C-alpha cells in the first residue's frame, strides 16, 4: 500500500525535470523500506529521505533512527538522509546515533522552530533557543545540509546560513 501510495505522486513528479525528490517527515522504518523499494523503479531519479523523530534516538513510530538511516542509505538513488519536523534538541544525538550507517550519503537536517501541541497551537522549543545556536554542534555531528521546518521563517534561515558560514570558517 505504501509503495502504491507514493508511486502516484512520484509518477507525476519525475516527469517534470526535478533534480531531487524529497520524501519528508517519514515517521516509520516500514515507510522508508517502501520508498527504497519504489525508487528501484526510477533508477535515474535521485532523492533524499528525512525522518520525523520523537526523541534523540527514535523515529516517531518508535524504531531506532539508526536503523532507518541504514535502510535509506542502502539505496543508490538516495543522496541524502536526515531529520525534519523534529525538535532541534534531538538532532545532534540522532546524527551521532547513525554516523556509522550513513555511508557516503549526505546528512540533511531541518528541524522545527516550535512543537505542535494541537488545536492549531505551537509551543516554543526547549529554552527558546534559536536554531542557529545548534548549528556548530550539528555540523560537528556530520550535518551537511541545514535548514528549518515548521515555524521557521526567512530571517531564521538567514541566521542558520550565517551560523554555517561562521562555523565552517573556524
Indicate the SS3 state at residue 119: coil
Q: Tell me 89's DSSP state.
A: G
Phi, psi of 47 (to 5 degrees): -150, 165
150 in a known ligand binding site: yes
Q: Which residues of 115-124 are buried (b: 16+ CB within 10 A; e: fewer)?
A: eeeeeeeeee
Please indicate if the annotation marks 60 as binding a ligand.
no
C-alpha span between 146 and 109 (Å, rounded): 5
85 is in an annotated binding site: yes
> From the DSSP assignment, how many helices (H) and strands (E) are in the chain?
6, 7
Q: Which residues are annotated as a binding site for Zn(2+)?
A: 85, 149-150
Q: Which residues are annotated as a binding site?
A: 85, 149-150
Amino acid at each position: 500500500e505504501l509503495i502504491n501510495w507514493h508511486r502516484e505522486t512520484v509518477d507525476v513528479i519525475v516527469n517534470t525535470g526535478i533534480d531531487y525528490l524529497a520524501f519528508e517527515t517519514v515517521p516509520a522504518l516500514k515507510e522508508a523500506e517502501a520508498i527504497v523499494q519504489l525508487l528501484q523503479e526510477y533508477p535515474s531519479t535521485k532523492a533524499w529521505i528525512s525522518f520525523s523523530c520523537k526523541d534523540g534516538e527514535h523515529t516517531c513510530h518508535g524504531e531506532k533512527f539508526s536503523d532507518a538511516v541504514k535502510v535509506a542509505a542502502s539505496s543508490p538513488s538516495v543522496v541524502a538522509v536526515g531529520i525534519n519536523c523534529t525538535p532541534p534538541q534531538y538532532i545532534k544525538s540522532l546524527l551521532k546515533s547513525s554516523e556509522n550507517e550513513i555511508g557516503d550519503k549526505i546528512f540533511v537536517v531541518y528541524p522545527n522552530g516550535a512543537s505542535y501541541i494541537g488545536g492549531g497551537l505551537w509551543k516554543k522549543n526547549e529554552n527558546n533557543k534559536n536554531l542557529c545556536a545548534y548549528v556548530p554542534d550539528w555540523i560537528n555531528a556530520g550535518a551537511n545540509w541545514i535548514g528549518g521546518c515548521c515555524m521557521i521563517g526567512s530571517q531564521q534561515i538567514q541566521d542558520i546560513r550565517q551560523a554555517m558560514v561562521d562555523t565552517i570558517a573556524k
